Amino acid sequence: MENKAVPNSNDEKSGVHTSALALDETYWNSQYKANTTGWDLGEVSPPLKAYIDQLTNKNLRILIPGCGNTYEAAYLLQQGFTNVTVIDIAPALVAQLKDKFASNPNINITLGDFFEHTGVYDLVLEQTFFCALNPALRIDYFAKMNELLAPNGKLAGVLFNRAFEQHGPPFGGNKDQYKPMFEKDFDFKTFQLCHNSFSKRAGTELFIILVKN
C-alpha cells in the first residue's frame, strides 16, 4: 500500500479520521480529483532545493516516491538532471504529470505501488511520503529503500519531527524513534533539525542524508 501526506481540513471538520480509511489508490486518487491536497506546498521544498543545488552529477539515477505534484522533479529537470523517476499511486495525478512532462525525455513517470517498484537508484528524495505511511509499514519502507538503492546510494530529504493531534495521515515521530529504524541499513551523514523548512513547517522537520551501508 502506498500513501502520502497531510489530511485536508474537510476530513477533520467532518470528524472522519483518514486512518480509519483504506489509504489506497481510491483514497489518494479522490484527493487529487477533488483538489483536497492540503499537504501541497505549491513549490519545491526549500530543504530539498538547497540539497539539489549542491549536487554536481547530473546523471544520478533519482527516484521520488509518492511524488504528488513533484515540484522537486520539475526543479531537477530545470537544473539539467537527466535521469529522474517519479512514482505515485493516484491515476488522476499521474495522468496530469504525464501531460505536463510529455516533451521531456529525462523523466520517467510511473503509476504504481512503491512497494512493488523495481529499479536501482543512486538517490531517493523523501518529501511527505514516509509521513503518509501507516507506521506499521515503516519497517517495509526501510527494507524497500535498501533494495532500491545502489551500493553507497543515498536517501535524502525531510521527516516530521513532531506528533500530530489528529489521527493520520500524516503520521509523525521524532529523531529518537527514527534513528534505531535506520541504523541497520544506513550510515548517518546528516540527521538533524532542519534549519530551512517551508515557513509553515518551521521547527517540525528533520533533514536526513543516509547512505546505504
Residues of the chain with pLDDT under 70: 1-22, 28, 30, 32-42, 168, 199, 203
DSSP string, the chain: ----S---HHHHHHT--GGGS--SHHHHHHHHHTT--TT--SS--HHHHHHHHT---TT--EEEES-TT-HHHHHHHHTT---EEEEES-HHHHHHHHHHTTT-TTEEEEES-GGG----EEEEEESSSGGGS-GGGHHHHHHHHHHHEEEEEEEEEEEE-B--SSSSSS--B-HHHHHHHHHTTEEEEEEEE-SS--GGGTTSEEEEEEEE-
The pLDDT score that the predictor gives to residue 35 is 65
Assess if residue 3 is contained within a domain: no
Tally of structural domains, the chain: 1
Whole domain around residue 106: which residue ranges? Answer: 9-212
pTM of the full predicted structure? 0.84
CATH number, domain with residue 151: 3.40.50.150
Assess if residue 15 is contained within a domain: yes
Reported as a single tens digit per residue, the pLDDT across 92-111 is: 889 999 999 999 999 999 99
Assess if residue 127 is contained within a domain: yes
Assess if residue 46 is contained within a domain: yes
Assess if residue 2 is contained within a domain: no
The pLDDT score that the predictor gives to residue 33 is 64
The pLDDT score that the predictor gives to residue 25 is 77
Assess if residue 104 is contained within a domain: yes
The pLDDT score that the predictor gives to residue 31 is 72
Assess if residue 1 is contained within a domain: no
Assess if residue 180 is contained within a domain: yes
